[in-house]
Structure 1
């Protein structure tokens, strides 16, 4: 999705400040308009349906807790008050009101992790109150609850996605590029999650993995070429549509490891939720994909 006018001007100014004019066209084309979520202190549950990570969710009375396929209660991860996020969503893709909830099952293996993303409209959450987690949820851990606050951000390609040959030259090494990225994202120590950015990975293939499973139900074999071919076969051999589907596979939420909350995704990695753009715009959160990256 193209940068809006405000972000385009901001991008151009930062590129000029860091003297990256040689890569300007590439960076403008590939930088994503994202949202970062940062911790704002421990949750006291004085407010209902505010944006929160860890702890307990606010649920309507009588709502059943999500279960895994074997009947184990899933572990609650986060709730996002979409009314508060709307002002920071430069893509205008998220619903403008209501609450998104994220639950997860056992995080092994690291791909196609059992999970649930629930969307409740504003009228469904009007009388919501703190819902205590059942004993013995899937991850069998208690996570401290923290209030979180959103801010708009620009998300350039990270080390796994960037074209090194285009951003590096005789005067600019990768460290110079990281300095530019830091200013674009405005990274803060309390950042805990990202929406619509680039996922952490080593190979830049997370969207291939997610799109392959969402569209064909097939597990990824770590070949981007094979994934494109299988998706193309799904569309009658249309390779162009396959590539577009991969581009339209969006990072709905990436949750970092965090000692204060108690999140530790394997070796301090990142838990990632993906959704197809078509499903997001249709408010269909029944079809999402969850995976885990850890170095």
Structure 2
């Protein structure tokens, strides 16, 4: 749901693109997101800035995350939560501290080894730049970019939109995509989005993530089978199972970007999911990572 302060923009653009027939649907399905865009190449003149790619700033004595084979994970991003606070319109994130994202080998594309680390503000007092190890799980040299955050409206994409509602004789999917572009204010500098919709063909990412996080089982590309397994996990409570899937949140979707050097398979997207319950509790130790590539 979109916060009241953003409804004017949503309603104005829906009317401008003459999608009034889908107004109620869009009001209910558009998500309030946070977009992260390239600001400038990181010079490391300031410790603790929000950054994607490059090297992280870590507290002294913090061990570099490693995968199950002992290989150092690849640093992806550090996000200063005070930078995100003005744009977190539904108050989902801690107000202070830092979120770090690391990833292991991106093969296979599901259940990817990773680490999401939250450090409170008091643990960031003596951080310093920590160069990446020479050998990391994802090969390559990655250029660090300072990132800026902005609040965004995130409409359902191809994998999630109800086409029967948004399309009619006068409104095709191409026109809907133009509306989406205006709603998100999408830019070529965008690197990542938080709390939006993951890129996918089938709209089933939350089922995959919920199944793994709750049961440890591998998704078999059947939403019905996954929901049944989650229901079994809750001893037959199907309402609880549906709620868990519905509450699964896209913590971060990180795009491929030639400037940074990230390329997830065929220029795809790396996705991190978290249960709403864990997010609101500030528990980032229980997350799921997968990859989408067309």
TM, length-normalised to structure 2: 0.99
Deviations 1:215-270 (A, max 9, x none): 11110000001011111111111222111111111000000001111100000000
- State the superposition RMSD in angstroms: 0.8
Structure 1 residues 14-53: aligned runs within 5 Å: 14-53=13-52
Q: In the alignment, is the contact (CA less than 8 A) between 2:88 and 2:151 conserved in 1? A: yes
Quote the Cα distance in structure 2 between the aligned partners of 1:34 and 1:19: 24
SS in 2 for 1:236: coil
Cα distance in 2 for partners of 1:94, 1:189 equals 26
For structure 2, the 5+ residue unaligned runs are none
Larger CA deviation: 224-233 vs 4-13: 4-13
User: Per-residue deviation at 1:133?
Assistant: 1.1
- Cα deviation code 1:173-211 (max 9, x no counterpart): 001101110111000010010000000011111111000
- Residue 265 of structure 2 corresponds to 266
Superposition TM-score, scaled by structure 1 size: 0.98
Aligned length: 294
Tell me the equivalent position of 1:97.
96
**Local SS of the residue matching 2:250:** strand
Partner of 2:197: 198
Report how far residue 62 of structure 1 moved: 1.0
- Structure 1 unaligned residues grouped into runs of 5+: none
CA distance in 2, matches of 1:86, 1:107: 30
Q: Please report how far the alpha carbon of residue 140 of structure 1 lies from its aligned counterpart in structure 2 after TM superposition.
A: 2.5
Q: Deviations over 1:105-136 (max 9, x none)?
A: 00000000000000001111122110111121
Q: Which runs of 4+ in 1 moved over 3 A?
A: none
Partner SS for 1:291: strand
Q: After superposition, what is the alpha-carbon deviation per residue over 1:79-99, rounded to whole angstroms, capped at 9, x for unaligned?
A: 001001010011210111100
DSSP-derived class of the 1:209 partner: helix
Alpha-carbon distance between aligned partners in 2 of 1:74 and 1:45, rounded to the nearest angstrom: 21
| Residue equivalent to 1:123 | 122
